[in-house]
Amino acid sequence: MYTVPDRTGKLVVVTGANSGTGKEATRRLAAAGAHVIMAVRTVAKGEQARAEILARHPQARLDVRHVDLADLATVEAFADGILADGTPLDLLVNNAGVMAPPTRMTTADGFELQMGSNFLGPFALTVRLLPALLAAGAPRVATMSSGTANYGRIDFADLQWESRRYSANLSYAQSKLADLILTRQLAAIAAERGWNLLSTGAHPGYTVTNLQTAGASLGRDKPKRSLLNALDFLPKQQVEQGTEPLL
């Protein structure tokens, strides 16, 4: 098991910090001494996760703040709050996302839900937080992608799935490929401009979290089965292992 080195004095933002890989990343970073801002869509769930982490690590420094990556106004407000604090941001963990909604759904801004939540929201958050990141000595942006990016294709003619028959699987793959493009482009820009910023991407493998069912449950009493949430026969791992590539 990977041991997170001492992060005392470091400021970290983790999106989707109330469950799954986001919660585990938060726990381990906080246990290593980092001050972690838990960026969550539902504050009550974030507070519950904070309490659970504090029960294991009483000295952890954890703040819960609201952000919904499917609503760019909240992304702006969250980022502006971080910038107003005036503290350099050492690490941004773009972890939150949605997978396999039962039908084509849209964000508050009208974008297809998976492209909006998985890519456009994190992209906007990353760019808006760049001043705080570049104020740190050795900042890092870690973005969660997926192995589905291997068969993802960016269709610029129909990026929001307005003309084609909607595929939750292929839409998810497109959004995760976009995350890798963001990761690589940020690294290229950092090198070009001489920023001491590390941009990394991660693939969690098939990790047991609520990601497989949360998206499929949107708007339904029961999750709709799809290729992305019906892979029970595959080898899988627990969240402790699945978080390691992100860390």
**What are the catalytic residues?**
172
Cα–Cα nearest to 102, from 113, 110, 116, 111: 113
At which residue do the structure tokens 């973005």 appear? 143
Two tokens, residue 30? 């906080």
Exposed e or buried b for every residue in 131-143, given b needs 16+ CB within 10 A?
ebbeebeebbbbb
